[in-house]
Amino acid sequence: MTSSESTAVSVTDNHGLLIDAVAGPGVLYGLTGVIADHQGDIGACSIIENTAEGARIYFEIRTPQSPPLEVMLRDLRALPIVRRVDVVKSMERIYGKRIIIMGGGAQVAQVAIGAIVEADRHNIRGEHISVDTIPLVGEQQLADAVRAVPRLPRARALVLAGSLMGGEIEVAVRDVRKTGLLVISLNMAGSVPDAADLVVTDPVQAGVMAVMAVADTAKFTVEKLKRRVF
pLDDT at residue 183, as a whole number: 96
List the CATH code of the domain at 5-90. 3.30.70.260
Helix (H) or strand (E) holding 114: helix 105-124
- Contact in structure between 163 and 141 (CB atoms under 8 Å): no
If one counts every other C-beta atom within 10 angstroms of the C-beta of residue 229, the result is: 12
Whether the predicted pLDDT of 8 surpasses 90: no
Q: Where exactly does CATH 3.40.50.10550 map onto the chain?
A: 95-224
List the CATH code of the domain at 95-224. 3.40.50.10550
- Contact in structure between 208 and 200 (CB atoms under 8 Å): no
Does residue 85 or residue 225 have the better pLDDT?
85
Q: Beta strand pairing status for 54-62 and 14-21?
A: antiparallel
Interatomic CA distance for residues 1 and 10, integer angstroms: 14
Q: Tens digits of per-residue pLDDT, 92-113?
A: 778 889 999 999 889 999 999 9
Find the range with the poorest average confidence among 139-148, 195-204, 208-217: 208-217
What pTM did the predictor assign?
0.76
Interatomic CA distance for residues 45 and 61, integer angstroms: 9
Q: Where exactly does CATH 3.30.70.260 map onto the chain?
A: 5-90
Residue 13 binned pLDDT confidence (cut-offs 50, 70, 90): low
Interatomic CA distance for residues 83 and 59, integer angstroms: 16
